[in-house]
Chains A and B, each alone.
Chain A
Amino acid sequence: MTGDRAGLRLRVLAGLVAFMFAALTTRLWFLQVLASETYQTEATQNYVRLVGLPAPRGRILDDTGTVLVDNRRSLVVTVNRQAAGENLEEVLYRLSKLLGVRVEELASRVEDPRYYVFQPVPVEVDAPKRVAFYIGEHSDELPGVAWMEVPVRIYPEGTLAAHVLGYLGQISPPQLEDPTFADYQPGDEVGKTGVEAQYEPFLRGTEGLIKLRVNSAGEILSQIGERPPQPGNDVVLTIDADAQRLAEESLSLGLQSAHGIFEGGTGRSLQATGGAVVVIDPTTGAIKALASSPTYDPALFVQSMSSNEYKRRFGAARDYPLLNRAIQGEYPPGSAYKPFVLLSAMRLGMVSVSEYYPCPPFWEVPEDPLEEVFHNWTSANLGSISLAQALWDSCDTVFYPIGYDYWRRFYPPTEPPVEPLQRDLEAMGFGRPTNLDLPFEQDGRVPDAQWKAGIHKDNPEAFPDGRWFPGDFINMSIGQGDTLATPLQIAAAYAAIQNGGRLCVPHVFQQAQRPGGKAIRAWRPRCGRRLPATQAQIEYVRQALTQVPVQGTAAFAFRGFPFSQVWLAGKTGTAEVFGRQDYAWFAAMTKVPGRQYVVMALVEQGGHGSETAAPIVRRVVEGLYGLPITQFASGGATD
């Protein structure tokens, strides 16, 4: 049998075997010689893990070095919904037992609207150490669950200046695509609002890195290298913690006091739903205090929040406490606007300081077929008065004809329309951002013919007539109609009147400094723009405003005030808002040798400026200059 045929068949077998070896050798050559580099890289990536070490952010300090925002280390438990996948329910159940938090609570925290499904959501901060050990040892039972020790923000002064400081959150996908955030990773914390957002580049530290050798199970075998984290730089603010506290307390007391005042128009007590106080140094634009009410606790943002909880805490029912009313609230300024309208009219020679103007209880537009009547705030006839008295008594019927005069002189509009009032008001900082160094500032509004035509075109049903009427000017002359301003715009404009006409960019930043205290960047005051008026005209207005608290609309609120110690001038404002109680304004310019402040207060649905806003300002001023504090007293409802 072992003949040639068997030999042939054995050769077939041998050929088959040779083919197998050729196949193996070829493949071996490919893997180990041709493609080896790729596999070497993969092998390295396999066992080297880079672990980021979060760097503490810089602190935020007030002008005297009081720490407003600091860091502490906290053990944070996170859940990645995508990684947990179908097991999420089970994972949350186990986590609930581990953390001692109800499952429903955890489930709602994990559904935090601020995080995307692929981002780890912090569900528990300040977890005890044993939780970390447990998660490490039972990772198979808890897919998607991780812990990390991270520096988190603490606020030694509590809610103080919350709106200025802002809060942190995980970086959003649109931000990740922004080149500004090129070196950020998904899941990184980033300032969302306030100083935290504005000065993110200073505050953010440089993440450290540990290079680890791991095995296939991901167990750490040894450390290969390390780059320690660099803490961020500190930011020193112009905000003064004492002034800020004073402003917040005064605002809060003022709102409380307003709640006790009966308002005849609605037959209810004043709602006083919110307000703002701004204290600014008129010589530089440095903001010493910026209060907004209602406020919120920035510490709440350290932990995740369900969308229901978010709505409950920050929604309409709480009057939107996250809104920084001082820079984001847009309100009709009412009579607080009059000095600026008057400055424009004086510049254009439409009025004269040597003349006297009638101040009747009401005024009708001449030749108006509709015979529309515009009332003064008081039914008394004040007779013929100077422009100065028109300011301190806030006489609307002096201003209506001025507004009408703009119509008469400059309309029917040419193309493009000549609108000197609007251009002057814009030059005074209205209708455009002050460019203060905080995000999300609103512009306010200086309406003009083009704007009115535009909103009519966009929504003809709500705005049936797009034409500009005399009434638009008349309303504008007393800060009503479609005019809107933010409290900060008003404060900045009064600061310009006080400092002789320089319009400074308001700011909260004083300097950035290294953790050791070495300054690396300081604020350079920007006061280049000037009010469109002469020194004499500005001086006239300023002198007129000194009489407001003495014999004008705020005389009751400032009775007994030591004017000999502190120079003080100001203006009340009571703005009508359709469907709401009146909004109360008061802006004061104050000075002692070596120190100056503009202090202004706004109270939403606070009634008369003289009655609710002025006492708040008075209390702040007394506090700032170390005067005895006067108790709030109702009465003196003028303008």
Chain B
Amino acid sequence: MDVVATRVFVADKRPFRHLDPLLLLAALALAVVGLVVIYSATRASLVAQQLDPGVFLKRQATFVTLGAAVVLLASSFDFRFAKVYAGFVYLASLVLLMLVRTPLGTTVRGSQRWFQLFGFQLAPSEFAKLALIAILAAVLSELRSADLSLQDVFRTTAIAAAPGLLVFLQPDLGTSIVMVAILVGVLVVAGTRARYLGILALTAIVLIFGAFQVGLVKDYQIARLTAFADPENDPLRAGWNRDQAEIAIGAGGLFGRGYLKGTQTNLDFVPEQHTDFIFTVVGEEFGFAGAFFVLMLFALLIWRAIRIALLAKGPFGTYLAAGIASMFAIQVFVNIGMTLGIMPITGIPLPFVSYGGSSFLTNCAAVGLLLNIHMRRLV
């Protein structure tokens, strides 16, 4: 380790020459899209309450500014130090996830997920995702043999299960799904045999079934998940939410109804529109053209992440980048899929676009790390 660290220090003279401008561009463009649509999503109801229509826009703009600093910070040090501290970061994230369950945490709509700090809500589960990616990458990159044993697979799974369960109990089904996707993504890239992945899946199914039986899964979670399959049966209006989102997007047509002109958006028909359902604003007001453009920005972002995983020097960088790519991909797919009615409704924010500081800053850190790996791919 010492040797590696010394070499890196020497080679790290001017790494910013090796930035990935396309990655930065994709993230920045998505952030700008976010600002534009957050304003549209929140303006009407703020005006109705006689509040400043730009209040959410301004706060998100603050996060974007902070985000730039986070990108800089996350790309400035040699990412391989992260491997050294991954264990501490991981443990720290577990402690935070446990603390948020104590009276220190804030409960919003039945879910205890946030710390109230300086007027901002901080969600430790967002940072925990990155911590999980780091520890998985660190542990898997330390394995000596080329093939992972079943024991390795289960040990790795156990590492992911701890934060996954804590998040699930908040309850935050969405983030635990993201964590599962990260685990699977990293395991695939690390070379886990398909057979072992099958065993893992089987175990998971048994455990999930058990959780239903024991009553660990809340009624509303079951309702939201089944409403996706059976829209007529919607005890908690989950089906209604889904229908409104679909109507908003469908009504957008090819070129949209015009910025600030979507009736579904402006008249408050779509729930949680500035956060989880932000994509409906894009769909309604900018149509297929706008929605496809945003999809392409995400494709660019994820393509760059996978490319960085390929280029990375050493397995740690590869796994780190692959984990980040998996995180982005699952969030985009589940979030947009939910607004289009092909995925169940879970509370997952759309990266860079959804309103929210914790999520935005976590994504910035992830992009910073990707840049970091990219810049240091040659040394």
Contact = CB atoms under 8 A, between A and B. Distances in A.
A35 B340 CA distance: 13
Interface string B343-365: 00000000000000000000000
Given A17-B306, A23-B342, A36 B250 contact: yes
Contacts of B303: 14
B314 A2 contact: yes
Contacts of B188: 9, 12-13
B251 A13 contact: no
Given A1-B318, A13-B322, A32-B287, A24 B340 contact: yes
Contact of A32 (B250, B332, B336): B250
Contacts of A24: 295, 332-333, 336-337, 340, 342
Contact of A28 (B263, B312, B340): B340
| Chain A to chain B: the 3 pairs with minimum beta-carbon distance, closest first | A39-B250, A43-B251, A1-B315
- Chain A interface size, under 10 / 10 to 19 / 20 to 34 / 35 or more: 35 or more
29 contacts: A1-B315, A2-B310, A2-B312, A2-B314, A6-B191, A6-B315, A6-B318, A9-B190, A10-B306, A10-B318, A13-B185, A23-B342, A24-B295, A24-B337, A25-B295, A31-B250, A31-B341, A32-B250, A32-B252, A32-B253, A33-B288, A42-B247, A42-B251, A43-B263, A46-B244, A47-B263, A215-B268, A216-B268, A216-B269
Contacts of B185: 13
Interface in B107-148: 141
Contacts of B322: 10, 13
A31 B279 CA distance: 14
A524 interface: no
Contact of A40 (B250, B291, B310, B336): B250
Interface in A178-234: 213-217, 221
A17 B334 CA distance: 12
B191 A5 contact: yes
Contacts, number: 136
Nearest to B306: A14
Interface in B246-302: 246-254, 263-264, 267-269, 283, 287-288, 291-292, 295, 298-299, 302
Nearest to B189: A9
A440 interface: no
B246 A31 contact: yes
A406 B203 CA distance: 104
A39 B342 contact: no
A118 interface: no
A39 B329 contact: no
A7 interface: yes
Given A1-B141, A32-B254, A39 B267 contact: no
Identify which of B141, B250, B287 gathers the most chain A CB atoms within 10 Å of its CB: B250
B107 to A, nearest CB: 23
Nearest to B337: A24
B306 A28 contact: no
B178 interface: no
A21 interface: yes
A20 interface: yes
B23 interface: no
A29 interface: yes
A27 B250 CA distance: 10
A29 B250 contact: no
A296 B345 CA distance: 61
Contact of A43 (B247, B288, B336): B247
Contact of B302 (A2, A17, A38): A17
B376 to A, nearest CB: 13
Given A9-B191, A21-B295, A24-B295, A35 B267 contact: no
B326 interface: yes
A529 B190 CA distance: 107
Contact of B248 (A6, A14, A43): A43
Contacts of B153: none
Given A1-B314, A12-B188, A40 B251 contact: yes
A214 B269 CA distance: 10
Contacts of B191: 5-6, 9
A216 B188 CA distance: 45
Given A10-B322, A24-B340, A43-B247, A36 B269 contact: no
A236 to B, nearest CB: 49
Interface in A57-95: none
B290 to A, nearest CB: 10
A124 to B, nearest CB: 32
